[in-house]
Amino acid sequence: MVSPSLEARRFFLDNVELVVLMDYETVVRRRRMVRNFQTEEMPEGDLRKILDLAQHYPSAGFSQGVAFVAVRDAATRRKLSRDRDMFPRGWPNYVIRAPILIIVCVSEAIYHRRYREPDKLRPDGTEIEWPTPYWFFDAGAASMILLHSAVSLGYAAVFFGFPKSEIEGVKKTLGIPDEFHPVGAVSMGKPAPDKKSPSLKRGRRPYAEVVHFERW
């Protein structure tokens, strides 16, 4: 079994040059919410690759309603974490320690505009009814890529949502336009030792309860 470090992605085996990349299954199984980080900066190229890949989420009508605010600036991360007027609860320390904070936003309005275009209207000329708010679904898909991309490049990440009381403060601090809703944020960087979430003690739901074959 060959186990090169992630940093050494190119190596030689019997004079054959090999490039080591993490396979999909390993990325999925290795990912977990990590809540402590080294403060070491992330190279620009890695951050750009993560943000580039995150744009490859699927979206209803190719509406692409998700947007990202990537915050490297430590002062901004500190303001978000420590402004007790806007964020009385305080944000977790990892927002300050991790070099990268990415706010995931989505605009419901983009989807409505898209589904009022001629190719998406119903025969009677009206917009479809939305039984599912696919804008939040799409934001989840994009966030999944953010988290997985970080792992695939040797980083760790954590997603956290915003309580209702913080939405306006986040928008104001980062200049997020009215029509975009910040659904949550991802902190990422090199992992440091952390405690696993107590929620994990609940255990994974049994396969038989979650996966049904042919019918429920």
Contact 150, 156 (CB under 8 A): yes
Q: Rounded CA gap, 64 and 60, in Å?
A: 8
Bridge partners of 17, per DSSP, are 12
At its nearest, how many Å lie between a copy of itself and the CB of residue 34?
12
Nearest approach, Cβ of residue 64 and a copy of itself (Å): 5
Q: Which is nearer to a copy of itself, 37 or 146 (CB)?
A: 146
Nearest to 99 by CA among 50, 39, 156: 39
For the CB of residue 86, give the shortest distance to a copy of itself in the complex, in Å.
15
Least distance to a copy of itself from the beta carbon of 45, Å? 13
* Nearest residue (CB) to a copy of itself, 72 versus 190: 72
Identify the three-state secondary structure at position 202.
helix
CB of 16 or CB of 85, closer to a copy of itself: 16
CA distance 129 to 199: 36
**Residue among 7 and 129 whose Cβ is closer to a copy of itself:** 129
d(CA 42, CA 48): 10
Question: Among all chains, which residue has been given the structure tokens 């929620």?
Answer: 199
Looking at the Cβ atoms of 61 and 92, the one nearer to a copy of itself is: 61
Taking the least distance from each CB to a copy of itself, the nearer of 121 and 128 is 128
CB atoms within 10 A of CB 48: 11
CA 76, CA 82: separation in Å to the nearest integer?
A: 10
In the complex, minimum distance from the CB of residue 41 to a copy of itself, in angstroms, rounded to a whole number: 14
Residue among 46, 49, 103, 43 nearest 77 (CA): 103
The CA R_g of the chain, rounded to the nearest whole Å, is 20
The CB-of-24 to a copy of itself minimum distance in angstroms stands at: 4
